Amino acid sequence: MMTQKDPGAVPLSNPSAAFLRVAAAAIAERGSAFYRALGPEEELEWLESSLALIWAAASGEDVAEECAETLDELGEESQADQFDSSYPEFFAARSLELVGNAMATALRPAPERVHASSVILREMLSILDFRLGGSKTVITRYGDPAPPLGPLESREVQEEQGVLDAQSATGEFDSESVVRIKEHAVRFAAEVLPRIRDCFDIEVT
């Protein structure tokens, strides 16, 4: 389970396959805002079709073959290590990594993969919070409580908790719950998208 230093909601203790697929899909959807803002425009149609596949799997549809083909095209190696976080390409590659993780989770549910996706997205949102907040470094003395999470990272933790709360006692989801989770994730991405553009001075043409 998560520790107090990691207040997220991706359980590592016996989560159901359904929970892992839905959680991974929601994280990828929320993180897709970074790729929509910073990725190649010609790849956005591919992004949308990939997210549709991920959600189909999360809804219980048999799309394993399509997911495997898409994952082969994408590859599981992140390109983010080629850049540091001052480059837009870093965030685009991380966002793509979330899609790959969700696609792999659709095929082989693993809590470690979903937890890794949670950490990646919160890291990106934390950096975004820092930059939008004026890039002011907060120094805390040893033993002092850590500073509070920024508004976007805090929202992400709430979104993760919402997915956790929506599952049944057996870790399953009804179709309405999956639809609501997707709607929340799409709305979150839409809200974050202009903040990313502001952060990187991207004008919409």
Sign of CA dihedral 12, 18, 19, 20: positive
Length of the chain: 205
- Return the closest-CA partner of residue 185 out of 20, 64, 65, 22: 22
Residue corresponding to tokens 């549809």: 61
pLDDT score at 14 = 85
pLDDT of residue 144: 56
What's the pLDDT score for residue 79? 64
Q: Please give the pLDDT value at position 5.
A: 40
DSSP conformational letter for 60: T
Which pLDDT score is estimated for 90? Answer: 93
Q: Which residues of the chain have pLDDT under 50?
A: 1-7
DSSP annotation of 61 reads -
> Is the CB of residue 57 less than 8 Å from the CB of residue 68?
no
The pLDDT assigned to 126 comes to 94
Q: Report pLDDT for 180.
A: 97
pTM of the model: 0.88
The Cα–Cα gap between 185 and 65 comes to 25
Give the integer Cα–Cα distance in Å for 27 and 124: 12
